[in-house]
Structure 1
Amino acid sequence: PASVEKGWRFWQLGIRKALDPLQAAWDVFSQPVPASCGQLLTQLLLCASLAVAAAELVCHWLVSSWLYPLGPAGIIATVCGLLVFLGLGLAPPLRCLFTLSVPTLGTEQGRRLLLSYSTATLAFAVVPNVLANMGAAGQVLRCVTEGSLESLLNTTRQLHAASRALGPTGRRGNQGLTFETQGNGSAFRLHMLKVTQGVLEDFSALEWQTRAAVLGTRRVATGMFVLGLLVESAWYLHRYLTDLRFDNIYETRQLTRQLAQAQATHLVAPPPTWLLRTARPKLSQEELLSCLLRLGLLALLLVATTVIVATDHMAFLLAQAAVDWAQKLPAVPVTLMVKYDATYTVLDFIPFLFNQPPVESPYLSSRQDFHWELRFTSPGCPLLPAQRPHAATALAAGSLQLLACSTVLLETYARRLRHAIAASFFPAQEARRIRHLHARLRRRYHRHQGQQPPSGPPPSPDLMDGTLDPLKNQGACVRGAGGLE
């Protein structure tokens, strides 16, 4: 046990040393005004990194969703990156707003945005792909129909040619070979081609309209996704700065330190049910039950997504099988041999009297061969290839939905992280919020004790420790409230 405890302490020490540079970078990033040239350089470097990431996302969005060429998309992304860099470097509230958008993904609003974007992404890839595969199967039907009709008409022409090849020779004695067709074969062929062409045109129009609608939806969904994150983060920051009661339910280290200095730890013994301890996050049974219900609803969405992706793969397999079958249809060679032999006999009754066969003398012999092929697909009808499903898009949509499922369990921690980020950027406001929470806990304690709560705010712990410079200690308290919890 001693060795295990020693190893655990060693790992804790290593993790703390590894997190120290990150904590230092965060302290510099959250400072409104850098205190030294080194901090200024670090802050500019962090802002530049975020600006480059934002520019890359904008470029990818313009190329993939808006179908911009790479050159204009790069120029627009560069301008956006410069604007983001200037905004982050010159305006600390914008840095806070930009940072708050990350944990906002873990809230209910972020979950809705993730699900909307994943649905739009899935529809953009799956629906047009299914229609394209159905069009490929329809093209196979058209080619087979056209090829069969051409083979039938070609056979009819060859039989007509064989009938004409006999000529007057084959019709001597009022006997001959005749071949007739009922109706106009060319008109029937044109009618069938028009029918199949109309079906394919309907599929093509539906596919084009679907692609246009899904592309527009994806563009709007992407813009609304980013705008929704920024608006939600701005709303939270506005409420945090203007309302002391908003999201002020956390027992932070600053509150614990202030209660200890004011000798008021009895105010949280026992703590109220609405007070959350950030040092020991734990979900209650009600929160767990709510999470399970939400996960059940999201599981239904995952099942629907699986069915849609399976439909896409089934359509691809059917179209591929149809195209392969049509490509492997062989051309059947047909040979028609027309042979005509004419003979005559003289006094054939004399051999008949002697029970002998009559002697036949050849009169005319004719033989002609006709060759053609039966093709079940028309050479002038190109087969469309089957469209393979976009596995990357399906994985991206599934990953977004799984991320949305994870936000159900992480929503509580995302809210706490938002509070910690806002407290780091605005330590003075966090100090006022802590004093307000202290007063609220004191009123609750006196109400439960049946006493009249004293009027006025609670005494500042910096004035209770006997110091003579309250302004200096107040500044120290304000600066101490800015760390991440």
Structure 2
Amino acid sequence: SLFSSLSLSHLFHLWRFWHVGLCKALALLQAAWVAFSQPIPANCGQLLTQLLLCGSLAVAGACLAHHWLVSSLFYPLGPSATIATVCGLLVFLGLGLVPPARCLFALSVPTLGTEQGRRLLLSWSTATLAVTVVPNVLANMGAAGQVLRCVTEGSLESLLNTTHQLHTASRALSPTSPVGSQGLTFQVQGNGSIFRLHMLRVTQQVLEDFSGVESLAQLAALATQRVVTGLLMLGLLVDSAWYLHCYLTDLCFDNIYATRQLAHQLEEARATHLLASPPAWLLRATWPRLSQGELLSCLLRLGPLTLLLMATAVTVATDHVAFLLAQAAVDWAQKLPVVPITLTVKYDAAYTVLGFVPFLFNQPPVENPFLSTHNSFQWELRFTSPSCPLLPAQRPPLVAPLAAGVLQLLACSTVLLETYARRLRHTIAASFFTAQEARRVHHLHARLQRRYDKHRRQQDLLHTEHLEPQRDLEKRGTDLSRNLGPSAASLCDLG
């Protein structure tokens, strides 16, 4: 019992410690956001906080830009550092001196959760696959082509070596043959060296074509990534600027949120009945649930992204299959045996004198040895050429496909988070421009009032139309009682 009470007390103190720490952290973040969103700092503390935040964002942006230029876009270190430094200085000056620039920068973060940010994430994912996976597939195909070249060259050299050894064996027999006798002749049609050079030229051309396609694919993917990324980053900023422009100039733009300011204004005007039956287009800014229409729209947008995920999986699987095939081909070529060949030529010559005489007596003729030679020729039959190096199979990269998959999953998550990103954009703009938000809230209040008055008039009209037949009957009964007199009126009353 004592141990359980101590455990509960420890858990309570731990929970209280984390709760107090979280509340202090949230209060600190809220104070930093208030200082960051102030057009003109109210005191020295807000000014220092604003400069510190702008400097931190500028340094972080410069570091990320340098890493992105070097690792993703493969720019040299010197120009990348210069560009990153200039961008950092421009960001610091823009955030520190221009309040709308701070708002624009803050709006760019939730804009990543919209369609424009989704396009940017998908472009990064596709470019990552194009720069890493496609050249790796082509490199493995080049390794398989090198195996074909080495096997062809080695087999051709072995064939020519065998032909040369047979020529040597035939020439070794020729001097021992008697004059005028029929010797062993070995003839090959065509020039072996020219054929060998032609085959080497063909295989070399095939490998050069593969290398050219690989380098061209890398250059095209890199150039496409740079252009598309630049355009999408520009589109991200333009989209944020367009939202800010519409927010400041159009009172009806994105003015569909029931915020705390609206509830406070309705409470002061004693018009809380306007939110008793809110319209379908009015959304609660702090309400976490999505409407059925928003969920259906999200599911429809997830279809193409699912197809893209499947295409990415097929591309990565193709890379692994190409690696396995290239590895199997290289291992097979390395394990090809060297076949030793030994050619033994034994030549015996003998002669007989008056050989028909023993034949008459049914006796074998007497042979007199004339010449006896014995030659042995040895060589090796190789299926791969020693002068042709085999290229190793390139193992598929793991980081790039995982990064591409994470980016695509983030793009899929933006489909569900797009509604919350839009609400966050509205909240950010309202924090920077409080006077404009007050005018927008007043406009939304008037819009809800007009809707309520219109609905009230329609209900009054329906109620009037429903009461008119009853009034006609009462009027007819009154006229009838006047025409018939008091007796008819008493009868009507009795009825």
Equivalent position to 1:215, from 217, 222, 228: 222
Of 80, 83, 98, which aligns to 1:73?
80
Partner of 1:450, secondary structure, is: helix
TM-score (norm 1): 0.85
Structure 2: which 5+ residue stretches go unaligned? Answer: 1-10, 459-495
Shift of 1:414: 0.4
**Is 1:122–1:394's contact at 8 Å kept on the other side of the alignment?**
yes
Name the SS of the counterpart of 2:378 in structure 1.
strand
Residues 384 and 171 of structure 1, relative CA distance in 2, 3 Å threshold: farther
CA change 1:288–1:449 in 2 (3 A) is same
Q: Deviation per CA, 1:135-184: give whole Å up to 9, x if none.
A: 22112111111111111011101110111112321456724322111222
Report the 3-state secondary structure (helix = DSSP H, G, I; strand = E; otherwise coil) of the residue aligned with 2:321.
helix
- Which of 180, 191, 198 is matched with 1:191 structurally? 198
Corresponding residue SS for 2:390: coil
| Aligned: 1:96 with 2:103 | yes
SS of match in other structure, 2:42: coil
1:396 corresponds, among 403, 422, 433, to 403
| 8 Å contact kept, 1:335–1:372 | yes
Amino acid in the other structure paired with 1:205 = G
Say whether the 8 Å CA contact 1:65–1:219 is kept in structure 2.
Answer: no
| 1:178 is aligned to 2:156 | no
Q: Distance in 1 between matches of 2:298 and 2:381?
A: 66
Distance 1:124 1:379 in 2: 34
Could you tell me which residue of structure 1 aligns to residue 342 of structure 2?
335
One-letter amino acid matched to 2:190: G
% identical aligned pairs: 76
Q: Name the residue aligned to 1:438.
A: 445
Runs of 5+ in structure 1 lacking a partner?
A: 452-485
Q: Which amino acid aligns with 1:378?
A: S
User: How far is the alpha carbon of 1:350 from its aligned partner?
Assistant: 7.6
Of residues 27, 36, 52, the one that matches 2:34 is 27
Where in structure 2 are the equivalents of 1:340-379 lying within 5 Å?
Answer: 340-344=347-351, 362-379=369-386
Q: Which moved more, 1:429-438 or 1:411-420?
A: 429-438
1:292 paired to 2:292: no
Where does residue 241 of structure 1 map in the other structure? 248
Q: Does 1:253 align with 2:263?
A: no
Task: Read off the aligned partner of 2:176 and give its amino acid letter.
Answer: T
AA aligned opposite 1:53: A
Matches within 5 A, 1:453-464: none
Q: Offset at 1:201?
A: 2.6
Structure 1 residue 54, shift from structure 2 partner: 1.3
2:424 corresponds to: 417
Query: Which residue identity lines up with residue 272 of structure 2 in the other structure?
Result: T
Aligned mates of 1:67, 1:171 — CA distance in 2: 77
- Give the conservation status (yes or no) of the 8 Å contact 1:120–1:221: no
Distance 1:343 1:383 in 2: 54
- Counterparts of 1:36 and 1:323 in 2: how far apart (Å)? 72
SS at match of 2:384: coil
CA pair 13-445 structure 1, distance change in 2 beyond 3 A: farther
Q: Matches of 2:62 and 2:216 in 1, distance apart?
A: 31
1:204-255: per-residue Cα shift (whole Å, max 9, x none)?
2222222221111011122122112111111111111111111111111111
Q: How far off is 1:330 after superposition? A: 2.6
Q: How does 1:261-340 map to 2 (within 5 A)?
A: 261-340=268-347
CA distance in 1 between counterparts of 2:180 and 2:380 reads 34
TM-score by length of 2: 0.84
Whether 2:148 is the aligned partner of 1:106: answer no
- Once residues 99 and 170 of structure 1 are traced to their aligned partners in structure 2, the CA distance between those partners, rounded to angstroms, is 101
- 1:143 aligned partner: 150
Q: Work out which of the residue numbers 117, 128, 131 in structure 1 matches 2:124.
A: 117
Whole-Å separation in 1 of the counterparts to 2:424 and 2:185: 93
Q: CA separation in 2, counterparts of 1:143 and 1:170?
A: 41
Which residue identity is paired with 1:133? N
* Structure 2 counterpart SS, 1:34: coil
1:203 partner letter:
F
Paired residues of 1:170 and 1:177 also in contact (CA < 8 A): no
Corresponding residue of 1:385: 392
Q: Pick the aligned partner of 1:162 from 136, 161, 169.
A: 169
Range that drifts further, 123-132 or 63-72: 63-72
Deviation at 1:124, TM superposition (A): 2.2
Q: Counterpart of 1:460? A: none
Q: Distance in 2 between matches of 1:352 and 1:105?
A: 111
The size of the alignment, in residue pairs, is 448
Q: Is the 8 A contact 1:171 1:177 kept in 2?
A: no
> Quick check: 2:123–2:225 contact (8 Å CA) kept in 1?
no
Are 2:116 and 2:232, in contact at CA under 8 Å, matched by a contact in 1?
A: no
Distance in 1 (CA, whole Å) between partners of 2:266 and 2:314 is 56
